[in-house]
Amino acid sequence: MSSTPPLAGPGAAPLEMAVGAYRFDRMQGRLMSRSGAAVPLGRRALALLTALAEQPGQEVTAAQLLDRVWPGQIVDPANVAVQISGLRAAIGDTDGSVILTVHGRGYRLAVPVPASIGNIPHALLPLSGREVELANAVKRLRRDRLLVITGLSGTGKSRLACAVAQAMEADYHDGRWLVPLTGVMLSDAGGLAARIAAALGLEGGIASLAGRQCLLLLDGAELVSGGALDLIRRLVEDHDGLAVLVTSHIGHRRLRPWCVRLSPLALPGDGADSPAASLFLTAANAAGMEITPNAENSPAIASICRHLGGVPLGVEIAARAASLLGLKATAEASRDPMRALPFMRRPGPARHRSVSAAMGWALGLLTDAERQALTVLSTLPGGFTQEEASCALAHARTDAPEAGLARLFDKSMLDRVGDSFTLNPLVRAGTARAE
């Protein structure tokens, strides 16, 4: 993490900056090599460099440079070009890429692109169909500094969270940091604090976050509970420059005010015009299968997306399968996704390499009573009301019917549409296979 203090304000030129392969200290009027050795500059060359460094990335006219270097003197404007040539030679700017010429007007000091601070991974595929969710998440995180993205396994929580972190690079000059928590059971604040410190390389522990401006992405917090959840809230309360973004299959009640549910992608109608279908086409093309939607293939694409419930992970796996099996065979396989859709080699956790593994992970987070309740609800066709669900659960003699319904919703196994509940097709398929 950076140990330098923040700039005095937006747009302020830094007191020390990179100039090609060198560093320039404006306060001391000193150009240094990477080893810290001073690089000799003449008085006029130093004045030119200082004038350009005061407005990095902005045009400085030849007339302004004349007034700065030769104040009150009548000088041939060609002297500016001569001094610029000497300055370029001193800093090794042989191609004029550091001190840029603005033809007929003046010069500009190139602003180096700063290296990104942190460890947020870049997605292999562009974020598809989540433009509204991305904009809303960035807005909420800027406002509240704490956001929990919940949703069914495979809906793209981690990918969306990484995109949010990437979009907020300018907000956090001390970096954006991924803290992986998938499969890690943490119930005390000390355990979570140690995980955060290790991910950020904080030798002094999380106390070192004081005064920093950074974003923490706690990814896969399903098994975090108790004091560890309280620590998440306290981090934001105690550190004004800190924001925390959490992904979790479970909507933790201690963090409920900051939870937002990520739904599957919208499904196509008769054609292939929908976010889910667009993702299928993008993933298929990335796998080497060029598909142009038409009257012949659009129904198959729509069928695949509907059988997979618009879950991005399932849609991507099906698109990869289509590049091997063909569109017709993949459409047939999507009718039995737990068994017929193949394993896919891809970076990330093992549960994201097949539809079956993703649903197995989600079901593994349920208690025995919750699994029993889900099995009963999966027999109800289409959408069902809370009253219908309660009657079915009571008839099956499950434990605490009303509480079971709420817990299944918290664990992203149920969706709510108006006054009704629904089960995603992948949840139904996973439940049927687990019986």
DSSP-derived secondary structure for 156-206: -HHHHHHHHHHHTGGG-TT-EEEEE-TT--B-SHHHHHHHHHHHHT-TTGG
289, 308, 342: which is the final residue of a domain? 342
* 238 & 151 share domain: yes
pLDDT digits (tens, 9 = 90+) for 83-94: 999 999 999 998
Q: What is the pLDDT of residue 115?
A: 61
- 231 domain-assigned: yes
Band of residue 12 on the pLDDT scale cut at 50, 70, 90: very low
Residues in the chain: 435
Domain termination site, one of 232, 261, 290: 261
Residue 125 in domain: no
- The answer to the question of residue 318 being in a domain is yes
Instruction: Check if the beta carbon of residue 13 is closer than 8 Å to that of residue 60.
Output: no
256 & 137 share domain: yes
Does residue 124 lie in a domain region? no
pLDDT tens digits, one per residue of 373-390 = 999 999 998 889 999 998
More confident residue, 288 or 137: 137
Give a yes or no: residue 27 inside a domain.
yes
Half-sphere exposure of 304 (CA within 13 A, CB side): 35
Q: What is the pLDDT of residues 110-166, one digit of tens each?
A: 876 566 788 998 877 778 899 999 999 999 999 999 999 999 999 999 999 999 999
Confidence of residue 290 (pLDDT cuts 50, 70, 90): confident
Mean pLDDT, range 83-108, rounded to an integer: 92
Statement to judge: residues 283 and 399 lie in one domain: no
Q: What is the pLDDT of residues 163-218, one digit of tens each?
A: 999 999 889 988 999 999 998 999 999 999 999 999 999 988 999 999 999 999 99
**Residue 324: CB partners within 8 Å, gap ≥ 6?**
342
285 and 332 in a single domain? The answer is: yes
189 and 87 share one domain: no
Provide the 8-state DSSP code for 294: -
State the chain's mean pLDDT as an integer: 89
Q: Is residue 32 part of a domain?
A: yes
Q: What percentage of residues in the chain have a pLDDT greater than 90?
A: 64
Q: What is the mean pLDDT of residues 15-29?
A: 82
CA dihedral 180, 235, 142, 112 (to 10 degrees): -70
d(C-alpha 93, C-alpha 98), whole Å:
6
d(CA 118, CA 106): 37
Q: Determine the pLDDT at residue 342.
A: 72
Q: How confident is the model at residue 333 (pLDDT cuts 50, 70, 90)?
A: very high
Give the total number of structural domains in the chain. Answer: 4
183 and 94 together in one domain: no
Question: Looking at the predicted structure, is the pLDDT value of residue 16 above 80?
Answer: no
Q: What spatial distance separates the first Cα and last Cα of the chain, rounded to whole Å?
A: 49
- Whether 349 is covered by a domain: the verdict is no
What stretch of H or E contains 47?
helix 43-53
The verdict on 65 and 151 lying in the same domain is no
Q: What is the pLDDT of residues 215-247, one digit of tens each?
A: 999 999 999 999 999 999 999 999 999 999 999
Q: How confident is the model at residue 430 (pLDDT cuts 50, 70, 90)?
A: very high
Same domain, 50 and 97: yes
Residues 237 and 140 in one domain: yes
Helix 386-395 and helix 368-377: axis angle, to 10°? 120
pLDDT at site 292: 87
**Domain identity same for 225 and 301:** no
Structural domain boundaries enclosing 85: 16-109
pLDDT score for 367: 92
**Max Cα–Cα distance, the chain, nearest Å:** 99
pTM confidence score: 0.74
Residue 32: give its domain's CATH number: 1.10.10.10
| Residue 4 pLDDT greater than 80, yes or no | no
Residue 116 domain flag: no
User: Once rounded to an integer, what is the mean pLDDT over residues 278-305?
Assistant: 91
Q: Are residues 201 and 147 in the same domain?
A: yes
49 and 98 in a common domain:
yes
More confident residue, 350 or 150: 150
> What pLDDT was estimated at residue 11?
40
